[in-house]
Amino acid sequence: MAFILAVLSIYWGVFFKVENRLNHLFVYVVDMDGAAPYANTGARPFVGPTITELVEMQLNSGKPTLGWSVRSGSEFNNDPVEVRQAVYDWDAWAAIIINPNATALLYQAVATGNTSYDPLGACQLVYQDSRDSTNWNDFMSPFINSFMTQAQSQVGQRWARMVLQNASDPAALTNIQAVPQAINPAIGFSEFNLRPFFPYTSIPAVSIGLIYLIIISFFSFSFYMPIHMQYMSPKGHPPLKFPQLIAWRWAATITAYVFLSLAYSFVSMAFQINFFGTNPVTSETQVTMIEYRNPVAYGHGTFPVYWMLNFVGMIALGLACENMAMVVGQPWMGLFLIFWVITNVSTSFYDIEIAPTFYRWGYAWPLHSIVEGSRQILFGLHSRIGLDFGILFAWAGVNTAFFPVCCWFQRWKTQREVHEYWPMH
């Protein structure tokens, strides 16, 4: 009972007071309004300042909110593409850009009656929900949508007052009537989801499906152990020496992981996750086209990389299970499996940035690297694949080093008839 309470608390605790840590999710608000070549139009910028004032109000409200960060357009050379690059590179989770011509186009629209004026040309929202769909849908999107609604309302009210104060002659009123969209809503936000979370069959490939990777690697121990033991007292030829048995067990386990991970990877391919077709959009700052399915990170080599990630991940997860099974035995191995699944799931399916500080160890846990690497491979996200493979290889190396020790300990228990069950007398 104490074990269940302690281990399940690790899972529940990920979201404990999460609202107080939403400010770890950085959202840039980049004000380029009035930047060149719109610096000398005679129209004083007001769209950008109005929106940045609203950001300050959000930050000073004392209520839980996102990590809004007002940035000057000069930090990005007044180039929206550089802001998109920052979002792609994970410098921020999202960015709201007030375009350089936001105010100038409004003035021009009402001054000339420009019927082609599009409010969506004033601002941009840039994000990539495939980085973490849970973060985006549950925490970020509601706040950002609310903020954009407030920004539209506040800019619209100020702009309507300014226009009506100067609409004294019939020509001005005629122009205003020709472009009602320049008064209401006045501005809008064009949304650019650089790397959409698509297809939806990729959900298990980067979340719940990976639990089965742990389970498959765990059950390989109990499945193959009777076969391994036959080499200790075979019929018709000498038994393996203990060092030979260790080498055989390790090699057989790794070989099994090769084919098990391949079978696991084939499931994603069978349900039409794209591994070979190329997306016409290859730029990191352009929105990939979902009609061509998910973008692939490594062209025709994407599937082998995905398979190798699952293979090395299975070694990292499975050898830990093998070693613990030999050390603790039954029935305690089942408890370790619960611990292993919960600690890995808690720190991989949910963002550690908004988890309590206690969970920082999760960055070193194997499933976190598998999830991060899978997202990068399947959606063409910013790559940290070297770090992800490095962590998994480290787990594989450490568990390989302990493998002979655990084999020796299991033999020691067997020879001395040590068992894990409590005596009944």
| Phi/psi of residue 68, nearest 5 degrees | -60, 140
Distance CA 112, CA 106 (A): 10
Q: What is the pLDDT of residues 310-347, one digit of tens each?
A: 999 999 999 999 999 888 887 788 889 999 999 999 99
The whole model's pTM is what? Answer: 0.91
CB atoms within 10 A of CB 274: 20
In DSSP terms, which residues pair with 148 in a beta bridge? none
pLDDT tens, position by position, 256-266? 999 999 999 99
Q: Residue 11: what residue type?
A: Y
| Domain boundaries of the chain, sorted by first residue | 8-193, 200-415
Mean pLDDT in the chain? Answer: 90
Q: Which helix (H) or strand (E) holds 325?
A: helix 302-328
Contact 263, 309 (CB under 8 A): no
123-153 residue pLDDT tens: 999 999 999 999 999 999 999 999 999 999 9
Q: What is the pLDDT of residues 281-303, one digit of tens each?
A: 889 999 998 888 899 899 899 99
pLDDT of residue 235: 67
Question: Cα 374–335–309 angle (5° rounding)?
Answer: 15
Q: Residue 234: count other Cβ atoms within 10 Å of its Cβ.
A: 10
Q: Is the pLDDT of residue 221 over 90?
A: no
pLDDT digits (tens, 9 = 90+) for 82-125: 999 999 999 999 999 999 999 999 999 988 888 999 999 999 99
Measured CA to CA, the distance from residue 131 to residue 330 in angstroms comes to 39
142-145-147 Cα angle (round to 5): 105
User: What letter does residue 281 receive in the DSSP assignment?
Assistant: -
Tokens for 357, please give them. Answer: 């500080």
Closest CA to 344 of 320, 376, 322: 320
Q: In angstroms, rounded to a whole number, what is the distance separating the alpha carbons of residues 127 and 379?
A: 13
User: Which residue from 29, 49, 64 is spatially nearest to 143, judged by alpha carbons?
Assistant: 64
